[in-house]
Amino acid sequence: MADKRDYYEVLGVGKGASDDEIKKAFRSMAKKYHPDMHPGDKEAEEKFKEAQEAYAVLSDAEKRRQYDQFGHAAFDGAGGAGGFDFSGMDMGDIFGDIFGDFFGGGRRRANDGPMKGQNLRTSVRITFEEAVFGCEKEIEMVLKDECATCHGTGAKPGTSPETCQKCGGKGKIVYTQQSFFGTVQNVQTCPECNGSGKVVKEKCQSCYGTGYISSKKKIQVSIPAGIDNGQSVRIREKGEPGVNGGPRGDLLVEVVVSRHPSLTRQDMNIFSTARISYAQAALGGEIRIGTVDGDVIYEVKAGTQTGTRIRLKGKGVPSLRNKSVRGDQYVDLIVQTPANLSQEAKELLRQFDAVTGDSLGRGAEENAGEPAGKPRKKKGFMDKLKESLDDI
């Protein structure tokens, strides 16, 4: 048996692995290499058989004890524990447990109880401001309702759905498959009744046997303040009708937020830019900044550099959980370089460039001794420069 791999190695577990770890490892390998997933692939088939053999031994306490003591020899008649015949082993119980979900139902109970209907999805477009402050929207959807003629049975009035003969009303068909180690039991949804267990012989003329009538309906959607692009609003029981008396599914409305011409958003904060003149950057002054709450007045500090970021506290987006809590707005100040200057402006800029520094200091010293409020006889250089640039 030197050509056989160690069973623990086959399943990728350690020798001290628990029963649950061994089962989990086998489930993973079986799903990966099952012949139904790789038709005609001999290599996958061999790996599947190898995993089956390893699990058959390691999942049985006595056989695992023998294997741990004698190795592969425990099952070829050469070891002290005697031989073990794999061909006579029934793997039905093992696969019924492990592959229940993989083969379409396995040992799971029939789903004949009340079931919630499927969810529906749609989308609605809103503006940037509507996302910030919330809004009400009306959408139109095609929804199914129980047919008033047959009351959801799908059968012609005066008749009733009959028990499916193919599955005996169970909604599923059990079939067996011979494997390397014995018989494997699998389950499939009945193709005759689609799992309902009932067959409609004479269909309702109003719903054509479906049991439902589709119609357009208008639905109000409450968009909460602070919602972001791509998030969804759930409207309870506006989805598909339930099965066997189950509740309707939900309607999930995805919100698509339109771009704003000057504002962008990141989480609860808003970002924008504001352009200021060269004179405003140098001398300071009031500017008007647009926010979702309207324009605000901001005092620019003298000597502001381009790219300076300022913060407008509480001018951001409300929290979805508490709309009284808001983020901030951050504004990048961009200094506009003058263009198409007049001759006067050009001359003043040349003078400004020549006297920047010491001349400004001397001017400040010369005026320091003058009484407060005393009017100047003539406008100073900086006044002329500011007026000239503001006119541009």
Determine contact, residues 150/206, Cβ cutoff 8 Å.
yes
Task: Please provide the average confidence, as pLDDT, over all residues in the chain.
Answer: 79
CA–CA dist 214, 204 (Å, integer): 15
**Predicted pLDDT at 335:** 92
Tokens of 356: 């920047």
CA–CA dist 58, 343 (Å, integer): 96
pTM over 0.75: no
pLDDT tens per residue, range 96-148: 444 444 444 444 444 556 788 889 999 999 999 999 999 999 999 999 988 88
Could you tell me which residues are beta bridge partners of residue 39?
none
CA–CA dist 360, 368 (Å, integer): 12
- Indicate if the pLDDT at residue 65 is higher than 60: yes
Name 28's Cβ contacts closer than 8 Å, sequence gap at least 6: none
Task: Give which of 8, 2, 222 is closest to 124, Cα–Cα.
Answer: 222
**Predicted pLDDT at 181:** 54
Determine contact, residues 345/277, Cβ cutoff 8 Å.
no
**Predicted pLDDT at 250:** 93
- Count of C-beta atoms within a 10 Å radius of residue 48: 23
- Indicate if the pLDDT at residue 363 is higher than 50: no
- Indicate if the pLDDT at residue 71 is higher than 90: no
* Helices and strands counted in the chain (H then E): 10, 15
CA–CA dist 124, 231 (Å, integer): 11
